[in-house]
Amino acid sequence: MKVLVTGANGQLGRDVVLLLEKEGHSVLACARDQMDITNQAQCNDVISSYLPEAVIHCAAYTAVDAAETDIDGAYKVNAVGTRNVAVAAERAGAKLIYISTDYVFDGNSLNPYQEYDNTNPQSVYGKSKRAGELLVQSLSSKWFIVRTSWVYGLYGNNFVKTMLKLGQEKPKLQVVHDQKGSPTYTVDLARFLVKLMATEMYGVYHASNCGTCTWYEFTEAIFAEARNVGGFSIQAQLEPCTTEQFPRPAPRPCNSEMDHLSIRTNGLTDIRPWREGLREFISLLSK
């Protein structure tokens, strides 16, 4: 299959490209210097020249706190950029997979969020990603929206790498214990996206590794796996804290747990438990 990947140098994009190539697909990996998604003419030129059968749109403005003051920047990439990709993909007759986020919800639900629950983003980042979803739904006829959460992988900076570094350097670490969600390993998410791409089961999907934890519990697991399979020398003593003790510019959802209703009802294979993905990642990182 001919596939174009945006954000190909990013944390998820790189694993998507590697998997597609490994599986024998023809891939055009587009980083910003190959295709600036905020440039409509460039999107049209690149996509119409390559004529992909599918576009996996990983490029995004993901600096959650910076977006609170850089509102135009967030919308330029996540809304305008997504519109440009959607229009060009539709013109080429390509399927479009748009990567979205748990931040489209307010995080106040007592239950896991299902795909067709009402969205209510509280941050600029969440609002800009929701704008991208709406544009994909209105401009593309063959679309998948895949919302994910707490993403980490080998490429780029992420929570797991930060905690491993701090765990080896700091005597004590406080980590938030009143926000829960599902950590997602990029390799596992990439596998799901490539399987989904081959179908015509269009719609909204929640895709994360199975199971939930708080950031504190996630860090506990990171440290345990780092000692057991990674051989890391973790020094830090962990302490739970509240969101109020750790204020940030952008509001964080208290509950980011997403139910995988669409995966189940479409008969697709769910993504493995988060602890298994974490163990594999840390083992790989240690090598």
Q: Is the pTM of this model over 0.85?
A: yes
Sheet of 54-57, strands arranged across: 26-30, 2-6, 54-57, 95-101, 143-148, 203-206
**Amino acid 83: pLDDT:** 98
From 125, 152, 185, 216, active-site residue: 125
How far is residue 64's CA from residue 254's CA, in Å, rounded to a whole number? 15
Walking along the chain (287 residues) 10 residues at a time, the average pLDDT comes out as 98 98 98 97 98 98 98 98 98 98 97 98 98 98 98 96 96 97 98 98 98 98 94 95 92 96 98 98 93
Q: Which residues pair with 174 in a beta bridge?
A: 239
As given in the structure block, the two tokens for residue 85 are 């990709």
Instruction: Assign domain 2-157+182-208+258-268 to its CATH superfamily.
Output: NAD(P)-binding Rossmann-like Domain (3.40.50.720)
Residue 185 pairs with which residues in a beta bridge? 152
pLDDT at 253: 93
Active site residue 125: yes
CA atoms within 13 A on the CB side of 182: 29
Tokens of 167: 């765990």
Q: Which residues contact 213 (CB under 8 A, 6 or more apart)?
A: 180, 181, 182, 183, 221, 274
pLDDT at 264: 98
Please state the domain extents for the chain. 2-157+182-208+258-268
Predicted local confidence at residue 202, as pLDDT: 98
pLDDT at 287: 86
Query: How confident is the model at residue 246, as a pLDDT?
Result: 85
* Per-residue model confidence (pLDDT) at position 243: 94
